[in-house]
Amino acid sequence: MRVKVSRQAHFNAAHRLYRADWSFEKNQEIFGLCNNPNYHGHNYELIVSVTGEIDPITGYVMDMKVLKDLIKSEVENAFDHKNLNLEVPEFKEMNPTAENIAVVIYHKLRPHIEADKDIEVVLYETPRNFVTYSGN
Amino acid sequence: MRVKVSRQAHFNAAHRLYRADWSFEKNQEIFGLCNNPNYHGHNYELIVSVTGEIDPITGYVMDMKVLKDLIKSEVENAFDHKNLNLEVPEFKEMNPTAENIAVVIYHKLRPHIEADKDIEVVLYETPRNFVTYSGN
Amino acid sequence: MRVKVSRQAHFNAAHRLYRADWSFEKNQEIFGLCNNPNYHGHNYELIVSVTGEIDPITGYVMDMKVLKDLIKSEVENAFDHKNLNLEVPEFKEMNPTAENIAVVIYHKLRPHIEADKDIEVVLYETPRNFVTYSGN
Amino acid sequence: MRVKVSRQAHFNAAHRLYRADWSFEKNQEIFGLCNNPNYHGHNYELIVSVTGEIDPITGYVMDMKVLKDLIKSEVENAFDHKNLNLEVPEFKEMNPTAENIAVVIYHKLRPHIEADKDIEVVLYETPRNFVTYSGN
Amino acid sequence: MRVKVSRQAHFNAAHRLYRADWSFEKNQEIFGLCNNPNYHGHNYELIVSVTGEIDPITGYVMDMKVLKDLIKSEVENAFDHKNLNLEVPEFKEMNPTAENIAVVIYHKLRPHIEADKDIEVVLYETPRNFVTYSGN
Amino acid sequence: MRVKVSRQAHFNAAHRLYRADWSFEKNQEIFGLCNNPNYHGHNYELIVSVTGEIDPITGYVMDMKVLKDLIKSEVENAFDHKNLNLEVPEFKEMNPTAENIAVVIYHKLRPHIEADKDIEVVLYETPRNFVTYSGN
């Protein structure tokens, strides 16, 4: 009986989408408003899901409190109220698109969750734009 | 053409998470605030999805009205405004975690839906905590 | 320039609606399913609003972090994961309807917020049922 | 690294569920209120997801702006503020159930998105009723 | 202690915005897409609030179940799955704008609620467009 | 018959809360994480309401399309994907708190709406923090 347990969290951050090796015009053409050199920002909503067997002793796949604390220590502390380009090492050389942020979050969480459990990361950049990554 | 049709429903209930064969201290350590012997409660939001072929005559996989009524008779009538530990037989000996409640709901619905259709149960215990079970 | 600042919080609790001086039948007639002697429960969503002048130095009516912490210490710590009838003194003799809970929350917060600021309490008992109290 | 990117859009439309080759009574029995000959309507919420590899140059699976514009040109312009039965050719002979609308949307988008990318269409007919189609 | 109690309900309907005494062109200029002669539709979300004193016996301003049933009998039964222009007498000669629908709902409910209680009607035509009427 | 019509819009922006005439330590003490010199950001949700008489000819208080376009030209174009501190003149010398942003939005809209109509601005900085300003 594999069940998926999901926990929603959130963080606020500033970012800019661009490539340092492109001209401003080329960045503007590809990234439009998101290329603002002064940055813009989002309230990111994050849903982390962990799929595994229900522990017959506790009835839990994973204690939601543990999952909540793990998201806090690994993701919120690293990203919340930060400038993703300037203050998060993973994005020093990688564009902080929603896709790339989701992949980074996946890899920050993966070592802390047992290997026989699957992880899925859903990241809302806005209420109408979101991405999903499951490690495949 | 397999399509998934989903219907959202809800019920309110009280519960307590604990094991009768553990000491109060052990229960407190594992279940924390959820071990309150006087119970606490939730507004559970429930999404039941049924996946199958579209009937070419009606254009329906399953009449949503039928699915709504089935959730009402099998789940809401059994759980709504109830104390899950004391009044729902399935939880007399099983901890009413979100995971276990989702599995119970799945098995209450399974006999009433044609075998060639898949069922998925998503259960929100709070707006930020939810679980998913698909019978596997 | 009076501005209203609002902060949303939440707590889960069990309760029962009834009067000890009425028969079970009378309570059933008036309170229906809410009279379940084994209790039921809710995820209460709470919005506390404070209206006052913007401080020209900070640009704040009230620091949201302070309001958040106040709601935590005065309301969440008292109500979260509790049985309102048995564990919250205000409801020992008063029916824990949404209306009465909102009034109690108002009076728990009032002494901690400056007298020239207005307070409004909105309490969602379910996503479709909610109440508003402003101290009048 | 396959990531799913999702974009939410919406349109309002009127429709009637019925079969022209059935009697009014038969339609009423099967489709109930949805058989109203004067039509009724919905605010449809639509989530289109595209799954593919992240482009290492841009960090995008697909530019959300492009996806937004594609949904606008192919779906919103065809369905928004329309009577689905009378004004959308696909439903001249096919019942505009949520299931069939989702399949039609899938096929309207499929030719405009690269073949190695997967598409999923989620369509909310009401906040509590929705369907999902992925082309299988 | 006056408290406002609120209940959310919903109905689906088709409508057309236009004036019979105007040309099609004039209607198109003023009402745009909403002037579609074949109708379009919405999922209307409705919040009815009643403000009054808390009854010290029950702790209720008004039994939410009674309010829910009143909205069902007076509003949902009259509007749900209907064509507002053709099937709701109030809109035979009055344009079914959100503003006018809210006023009509107010007047349908007013006689059924005690005169010393205030009523407020909030009507969402879409998730982003809504109106409020309080009888003044 | 005065009715309030409301339109929801949104914009994304970066900002920093601080006073240039305070030390970094003093700003840190008062504004905490919001004082990040590299900025952070939000998805701001904005609800603008206009209260006035229903025009008996059209049934509108104000055409929602006109209100939507006005919010776009006056607010979204000025704030969306911008750094509020660096790129919005009103915040060159004024702290871009939610309170101050709401007041600025009010004054940007006021000249474009007839004087006998009231305006209310609700601004969500996060889903749990929001402010309301009505010009008083």
Q: What's the confidence (pLDDT) of residue B128?
A: 97
**CA-closest candidate to residue F129, choices C65, C114, C103:** C65
Residue B115 pLDDT grade (very low, low, confident, very high; cuts 50, 70, 90): very high
Q: What's the confidence (pLDDT) of residue E136?
A: 84
Give CA–CA dist E125/B79, Å, rounded.
33
Contacts of A77 (CB under 8 A, 6+ apart): none
Which of B42, B104, B131 should be substituted to probe chain A, the one whose Cβ sees the most A Cβ atoms within 10 Å? B131
**B/D touch flag: 3 or more CB pairs below 8 Å:** yes
Q: Average pLDDT for residues E95-120, to the nearest whole number?
A: 98
Query: Coil, strand, or helix at residue F57?
Result: coil
Binary contact (F64, E129; C-beta < 8 A): yes
Give CA–CA dist B29/C97, Å, rounded.
32
Binary contact (C59, F130; C-beta < 8 A): no
At position F91, the amino acid (one-letter code) is F
pLDDT tens digits for A10-55?
999 999 999 999 999 999 999 999 999 999 999 999 999 999 999 9
Residues linked to residue E15 through DSSP beta bridges, in sequence order: E40
To the nearest 10°, the Cα dihedral for F107, F111, F114, F115? 70
Inform me whether the pLDDT recorded for A136 exceeds 90.
no
Among the partner residues D1, D6, D58, nearest to A103 by beta-carbon distance: D1
Tally Cβ neighbours within 10 Å of residue E56.
Answer: 10
Is the backbone of residue F10 left (phi > 0), alpha (psi -120 to 50) or beta? beta
pLDDT tens digits in sequence order for chain D, 136 residues long: 899 999 999 999 999 999 999 999 999 999 999 999 999 999 999 999 999 999 999 999 999 999 999 999 999 999 999 999 999 999 999 999 999 999 999 999 999 999 999 999 999 999 999 999 999 8
For chain F, the first-to-last Cα distance in angstroms comes to 22
CA B37 from centre of chain: 22
Q: CA-CA distances (angstroms) from residue E10 to B99, D96, E110?
A: 31, 21, 19
Q: What's the confidence (pLDDT) of residue C12?
A: 97
pLDDT tens digits for B75-106?
999 999 999 999 999 999 999 999 999 999 99
Residue F3 pLDDT grade (very low, low, confident, very high; cuts 50, 70, 90): very high
Give CA–CA dist D24/E108, Å, rounded.
31
Which of D97, D110, D122, D126 should be substituted to probe chain B, the one whose Cβ sees the most B Cβ atoms within 10 Å? D97
Q: What's the confidence (pLDDT) of residue C81?
A: 98
Two tokens, residue A48 = 């982390």
Burial B101-125 (b: 16+ CB within 10 A, else e): bbbbbbebbeeebeeebebbbbbbb
Minimum CA–CA partner of D87 in chain E: E38
Q: Which of B10, B34, B99, B107 is catalytic?
A: B34
Q: What's the confidence (pLDDT) of residue F43?
A: 97
Binary contact (F98, C8; C-beta < 8 A): no
**B/E touch flag: 3 or more CB pairs below 8 Å:** no
Inform me whether the pLDDT recorded for F136 exceeds 90.
no
**CA-closest candidate to residue B50, choices B99, B103, B94, B2:** B2
Two tokens, residue F101 = 């942003």
Residues linked to residue E43 through DSSP beta bridges, in sequence order: E12
For chain C, 136 residues long, the average pLDDT of each consecutive 10-residue run is 97 97 97 97 98 97 98 98 98 97 98 98 98 96
Binary contact (E19, F64; C-beta < 8 A): no
pLDDT tens digits for A101-135?
999 999 999 999 999 999 999 999 999 999 999 99
Two tokens, residue C82 = 């509790």
* Contact in structure between B41 and C41 (CB atoms under 8 Å): yes
Q: Average pLDDT for residues A88-99, to the nearest whole number?
A: 97
* Contact in structure between F102 and F131 (CB atoms under 8 Å): yes
Domain ranges of chain F: 2-14+41-133
B53 is catalytic: no
CA E13 from centre of chain: 11
Q: Average pLDDT for residues E13-40, to the nearest whole number?
A: 97
H or E segment and range at residue B52: strand B40-53
Give CA–CA dist B34/B36, Å, rounded.
6
Contacts of A44 (CB under 8 A, 6+ apart): A10, A11, A12, A13, A79, A101, A123, A124, A125
The DSSP code sequence of F100-132 is HHHHHHHHHHGGGS-TTSEEEEEEEEETTEEEE
Distance from CA of E53 to the nearest CA of C (A): 10
Two tokens, residue B129 = 């905590």
Strands B40-53 and A129-133: unpaired
Chains near C (3 or more Cβ pairs under 8 Å)? B, E, F
Two tokens, residue D63 = 């530019």
Q: What's the confidence (pLDDT) of residue D19?
A: 97
CA E85 from centre of chain: 14
Give CA–CA dist D13/D110, Å, rounded.
22
Q: Give the CATH fold of the F2-14+41-133 domain.
A: Tetrahydropterin Synthase; Chain A (3.30.479)
Among the partner residues D3, D8, D60, nearest to A128 by beta-carbon distance: D8
Q: Average pLDDT for residues E103-132, to the nearest whole number?
A: 98
Chains near F (3 or more Cβ pairs under 8 Å)? A, C, E
ipTM above 0.90, yes or no: yes
Q: Which of F10, F34, F76, F87 is catalytic?
A: F34
